[in-house]
């Protein structure tokens, strides 16, 4: 594949059985061959998106000492602010050229998970930032639920198989700011080549050049969304659970050409995680003579902790 396929969630949600099945076929084929789709028909409206970008820009324009008030030690960057250059891709020493914020789950009726997850951090200077972040989180979580329902059917599972695992899941909304580049970076890029940890990632802000995806031939292709689309890719947890039938594709964010170094870039991924006790054991239906079991049994929580250590975010 040399381009990212586009699908419309409205087809899956329609009462037309043939449209629904076509969506399932198309997204299943895309995730088996490149691991990315561009999705129309999601639950974000233009007004919400505009408000979110306005609030995010206002936050990242705050003085560094103000932003650092919201950097919480000891939680691996899971909530609040993570300062510039702190995160690096697996296997790389250089920190990525970015700063970011984390909104986490708003737990409903589960005291145990409220204790397990760190509390969300509230920005005193920007009360709207907190509210618009929560609303966006909910709309992306809702979108993700239906994408996973389509994939459950594709994998021969009951349609709502994933619902129980993603309700109150350890998902993260991450507004990212890639600041203007001041001088020639030494081996550093805005986001080095990596795969995502989680089940699926829903990415806002892929409308311009920068995001690139590695196809099965090892070639880097541009992933550019239309104005009404978000990019959605498979993460390592779902790839593992499906015995690599659904592909977690390596991707990166390249540095812009020198004439655009003076510009910021913003992107907003939503990393859909399940509850930590979900078993990521390979699905029986994804094992056969030609595809023996590739991965050891592990829970989502243990897998996440393993990967956070590899990224240098926890010890």
Query: pLDDT tens across 232-269, in order?
Result: 999 999 999 999 999 999 998 876 667 767 778 888 99
% of the chain with per-residue pLDDT over 90: 73
Is residue 188 over pLDDT 70? no
**137-143 average pLDDT score:** 98
What gap in Å lies between CA 3 and CA 5, rounded to an integer? 6
46-63 residue pLDDT tens: 999 999 999 999 999 999
pLDDT higher than threshold 80 for residue 186? no
Give the E-state strand segments of 75-175 in sequence order.
80-82, 99-102, 172-173
C-alpha Rg value of the chain to the nearest Å: 19
Q: Which residue(s) pair with 172 in the sheet? A: 271
Secondary structure of 22-54 as H, E, C letters: HHHHHHHHHHHHCCEEEEECCCCCHHHHHHHHH
The 3-state DSSP composition of the chain as helix, strand, coil percent (nearest 5) reads: 35, 20, 50
CATH no. of 6-310: 2.60.120.330
For residues 118 and 76, the answer to whether their CB atoms sit within 8 Å is no
How many helices (H) does the chain have, and how many strands (E)? 9, 13
- In the chain, where the domains are located: 6-310
Whole-angstrom CA distances from 279 to 193, 238, 239, 303 are 27, 11, 13, 10
Residue 150: phi, psi to the nearest 5?
A: -65, -40
pLDDT in tens, 2-28: 789 999 999 999 999 999 999 999 999
Q: Has residue 313 got a pLDDT over 60?
A: yes
Neighbours of 276 (CB within 10 A): 18
pTM, two decimal places: 0.91
Backbone dihedral region for residue 41 (phi beyond 0: left; psi -120 to 50: alpha; all else: beta): left
Task: Work out the pLDDT band at 92, boundaries 50, 70, 90.
Answer: very low
């Amino acid at each position: 594949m040399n381009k990212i396929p586009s699908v419309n969630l409205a087809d899956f949600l329609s009462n037309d059985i043939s449209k629904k099945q076509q969506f399932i076929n198309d997204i299943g084929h895309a995730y088996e061959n490149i691991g990315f789709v561009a999705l129309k028909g999601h639950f974000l409206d233009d007004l919400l998106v505009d408000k979110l970008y306005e609030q995010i820009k206002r936050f990242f324009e705050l003085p560094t000492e103000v932003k650092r008030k919201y950097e919480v030690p000891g939680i691996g960057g899971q909530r609040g602010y993570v300062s510039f250059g702190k995160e690096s891709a697996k296997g790389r020493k250089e920190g990525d050229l970015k700063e970011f914020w984390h909104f986490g789950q708003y737990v409903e009726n589960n005291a145990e998970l409220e204790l397990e997850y760190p509390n969300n951090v509230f920005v005193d200077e920007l009360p709207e930032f907190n509210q618009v972040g929560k609303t966006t989180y909910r709309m992306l979580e809702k979108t993700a639920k239906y994408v996973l329902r389509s994939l459950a059917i594709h994998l021969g599972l009951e349609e709502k198989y994933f619902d129980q695992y993603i309700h109150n899941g350890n998902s993260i909304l991450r507004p990212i700011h890639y600041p203007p580049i001041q001088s020639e970076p030494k081996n550093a890029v805005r986001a080095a080549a990596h795969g995502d940890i989680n089940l699926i990632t829903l990415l806002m802000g892929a409308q311009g050049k920068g995001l690139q995806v590695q196809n099965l031939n090892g070639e880097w292709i541009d992933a550019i969304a239309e104005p009404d689309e978000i990019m959605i890719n498979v993460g390592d947890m779902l790839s593992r659970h499906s015995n690599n039938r659904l592909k977690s594709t390596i991707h990166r964010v390249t540095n812009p050409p020198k004439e655009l170094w003076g510009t910021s870039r913003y992107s907003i991924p939503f990393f859909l995680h399940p509850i930590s006790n979900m078993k990521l054991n390979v699905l029986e239906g994804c094992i056969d003579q030609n595809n023996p079991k590739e991965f050891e049994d592990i829970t989502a929580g243990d897998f996440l902790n393993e990967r956070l250590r590899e990224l240098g975010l926890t010890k």
